[in-house]
């Protein structure tokens, strides 16, 4: 198995487990309100993320390319896949952030649209002059 695939699998397992743990903590016993008010739930979530990072960096260390004698575990195809996956991941995050912001602050878009319409209408309206 290539280094890229190995890391992707472990990364999926680690962060998937962290995500499941946080979702369980978030929705157990009261839901979002209880999560915001309950200090222990917050702490537990932070611990989960911290453990995730510890496992993640340990995995990066353990799957590093060792010098000498080891068969090739990474080549140009892996680099291409890595580039494309970083790009897809980044764009997915951007779309997610955009959608969240749109839901939260979408009304600002309506306001700016209304203002722009009024300004453009005023600029493009004649005043009876030829």
Q: Which of 64, 77, 83, 91 binds another protein (CB under 8 A)?
A: 77
Give the separation between CA 18 and CA 22, rounded to whole angstroms: 6
Pick the piece of the chain touching another protein (CB under 8 A) from 50-58, 67-75, 111-119, 122-130: 67-75
Strand extents, DSSP E, 1-130: none
Which of residues 46 and 77 has its CB atom nearest to another protein in the complex? 77
Question: In this structure, what DSSP letter does residue 74 have?
Answer: -
Minimum separation from the CB atom of position 1 to another protein (A): 8
Minimum separation from the CB atom of position 47 to another protein (A): 37
Q: Which 1-40 residues touch another protein, going by CB under 8 A?
A: 2, 5
Look at residue 127 and give its three-state secondary structure.
coil
Counting every residue written for the chain, the total comes to 130
Q: Please report where in the chains the tokens 């896949």 appear, as a residue.
A: 81
Minimum separation from the CB atom of position 14 to another protein (A): 23
Q: Interface with another protein by CB under 8 A: which residues?
A: 2, 5, 71-78
């Amino acid at each position: 198995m290539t280094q890229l695939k190995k890391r992707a699998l472990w990364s999926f397992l680690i962060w998937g487990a962290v995500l499941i743990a946080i979702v369980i903590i978030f929705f157990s016993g009261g839901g979002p309100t209880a999560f915001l008010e309950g200090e222990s739930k917050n702490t537990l979530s932070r611990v989960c993320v911290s453990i995730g990072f510890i496992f993640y960096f340990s995995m990066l260390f353990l799957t590093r390319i060792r010098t000498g004698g080891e068969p090739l575990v990474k080549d140009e195809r892996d680099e291409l896949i890595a580039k494309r996956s970083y790009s897809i991941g980044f764009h997915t995050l951007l779309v997610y952030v955009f959608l969240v912001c749109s839901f939260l602050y979408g009304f600002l878009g309506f306001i700016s649209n209304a203002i722009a319409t009024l300004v453009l209408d005023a600029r493009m309206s004649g005043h009876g002059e030829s």
